[in-house]
Amino acid sequence: MAKKLSKGKKVALIIASVILVLLIAVVCVGVSFLNSYCEVKDYTIINASQVNTADKEYKLVAHRGYSAIAPENTAPAYEKAGEQGFWGAECDIYRTADGVWILTHDISTYRMMDKSAFVEKKTYEELKSYTYDNGSNIGDYTELKICTLDEYLEICKENSMNAVIELKGKNNTEHYDEIIEAVEKAGMSDYTTYISFHYENLQKIRSLCDAPVLYLVQEITDEDIELALALGGECGINFNGNKEENTDEIIKKCVDSGLIVAAWTIDTKDAMERLVKNGVSIITTNCIIPQ
């Protein structure tokens, strides 16, 4: 005959069971999130001629390059953007352990490459041994390697595209003079815009040059407008154009303040029409191509 568990042991068993179930749930959610994050999206290409912008002026920026056609933040993605005639091409940059600025949206290579590592912990030579195995039409790009800031700037220059550089992370600001030097060396000083979610990054860039700087935000607040204005010179806000919280009224407030107003990442005709109608002058997109 089985021995009955004491009340204390029953409680402990129930608690352990609940913890186990919660751990399993967390792991399942995590795996599901990673799979979703790594999944390549299937975009519908839209020609800007299909969008009713009421003759308002705007500029199209290719998000991480023409990422609907080629793997994001790679040389082919920027070459494709140049071929399409985008006004600008956005990139994300990190600094390697040996001081090379490279293009990647994530601090880890896990999502896009065949080996997983934190890019700031690896040298450029080490990262050069990695190969892209994810991204749009990856089958067309064998042995695709990581792109450097210098290579990106050269492609932008060759294709008469403005460079839109997102400063990632909160560190390495003491090395931002290297970025400015690379831009100057490429002859792109008058054709480069800097963006970041981290306000201090933009303050540092502003102390080094007079290039346009755009404060990246999810939802525009009055405080964000004031912070953006405080950067001085050519400054603005670059907001999530898909959030309902960013109403026509708050967008108009940005425009009326004199800020450069930009929105990301806009992939539908309706969203672009609304934003341009309200005075947004820069549209970052994965799949809306110039006329």
- Residues 22-29: contacts with CB under 8 Å, at least 24 apart: none
Write the pLDDT tens digit of every residue in 217-261: 999 999 999 999 999 999 999 999 999 999 999 999 999 999 999
Write the pLDDT tens digit of every residue in 107-147: 999 999 999 999 999 999 999 999 999 999 999 999 999 99
Rounded distance, CA 12 to CA 31, Å?
29
Does the structure show a pLDDT above 90 at 167? yes
Q: If you average pLDDT over residues 1-13, what whole number do you get?
A: 63
Domain range summary for the chain, segments of one domain joined by +? 8-39, 42-289
Helix-strand-coil split of the chain, %, nearest 5? 40, 20, 40
Quote the CATH superfamily of domain 42-289.
Phosphatidylinositol (PI) phosphodiesterase (3.20.20.190)
Which two three-digit tokens encode residue 190? 């008058």
pLDDT number for residue 6: 73
First to last CA, the chain: 82
pLDDT number for residue 28: 47
Residue with tokens 């934003």: 275
Contact 259, 235 (CB under 8 A): yes
Rounded distance, CA 237 to CA 221, Å?
10
Q: pLDDT band for position 23 (50/70/90)?
A: low
pTM of the model: 0.91
Q: If you average pLDDT over residues 264-290, what whole number do you get?
A: 98
pLDDT: is 138 or 7 the higher one?
A: 138
Contact 162, 88 (CB under 8 A): yes
Contact 192, 163 (CB under 8 A): yes
* Phi and psi based region of residue 55 (left: phi greater than 0; alpha: psi -120 to 50; beta: remaining): left
DSSP code, position 191: G
Write the pLDDT tens digit of every residue in 180-221: 999 999 999 999 999 999 999 999 999 999 999 999 999 999
Does the structure show a pLDDT above 80 at 34? no
Rounded to 5 degrees, φ, ψ at 183 are -65, -45
Q: pLDDT band for position 31 (50/70/90)?
A: very low
Contact 186, 162 (CB under 8 A): no
Quickly count: other Cβ atoms within 10 Å of residue 66's Cβ: 26
Rounded distance, CA 74 to CA 76, Å?
6
